[in-house]
Amino acid sequence: MNEQFNEFEWLKEYTGIHEDRMKFENIKNFVFFWSLFETKVCKNNANVKSISDSVDELANRREFIFEDYRDFFDYFRDRYTDSGKVNDRFESLNFRRPDKKEFVKDALEGDINKPYEIIKALLIIVYRLRSNLFHGKKRVETLNTQIENFKIANKLLSKVIKSFD
């Protein structure tokens, strides 16, 4: 049991994915960011309802400024829409019935303009990323195509967590 075990090298060899370590750190960090978010923002029970309720609660205490979240919105809109309409990537988020798919679609397509509603939609996207990572269709060979999603999600989660201080 005292022998050194290099987790990263084992994963690279086993999966055949040869990305550098730093890219996969974003995915590992996402697990921790999500855990903090679920604990602090969603009172240990993250789902679309608890996310929505928490954002509503915070919106009643302070105003959200859209400009503070514009980069996140632009990133996800650019990723999940083409010519102003949701695309196949959006469908690959695999929304479940309670996940407010139409609400998120409306936000990305520009039909919702209240900042706190847009933040809800962004967090629901991050929730779907989380659900797909932990419970969805596992496609390890394409995980490296999600690195930027996790980087953006981590930054968004950090901003929202700090808002609840």
Residue 1 inside a domain? The answer is: no
Provide the pLDDT for residue 165. Answer: 85
Residue-number span of the structural domain to which 130 is assigned: 7-163
Residue 41 inside a domain? The answer is: yes
CA distance 141 to 76: 22
CA distance 152 to 95: 20
Residue 107 inside a domain? The answer is: yes
Provide the pLDDT for residue 9. Answer: 84
Residue 113 inside a domain? The answer is: yes
Q: Is 130 left (phi over 0), alpha (psi -120 to 50) or beta?
A: alpha
Provide the pLDDT for residue 139. Answer: 63
Provide the pLDDT for residue 140. Answer: 63
Residue 19 inside a domain? The answer is: yes
Domain count across the chain: 1
Residue 2 inside a domain? The answer is: no
Residue 61 inside a domain? The answer is: yes
Sequence-distant contacts of 28-36: CB under 8 A, at least 24 apart: 29/150, 29/154, 30/129, 30/130, 30/133, 30/150, 30/153, 30/154, 33/153, 33/154, 33/157, 33/158, 33/161, 34/126, 34/130, 34/157, 36/157, 36/161
Residue 52 inside a domain? The answer is: yes
Provide the pLDDT for residue 141. Answer: 62
Provide the pLDDT for residue 138. Answer: 58
Provide the pLDDT for residue 8. Answer: 80
Query: What is the residue-level pLDDT of the chain in tens, covering all 165 positions?
Result: 678 998 888 877 887 777 676 667 888 899 999 999 999 999 999 999 999 999 999 999 988 899 999 999 999 999 999 999 999 999 999 999 899 999 999 999 999 999 999 999 999 999 999 998 888 665 666 677 788 999 999 999 999 999 988
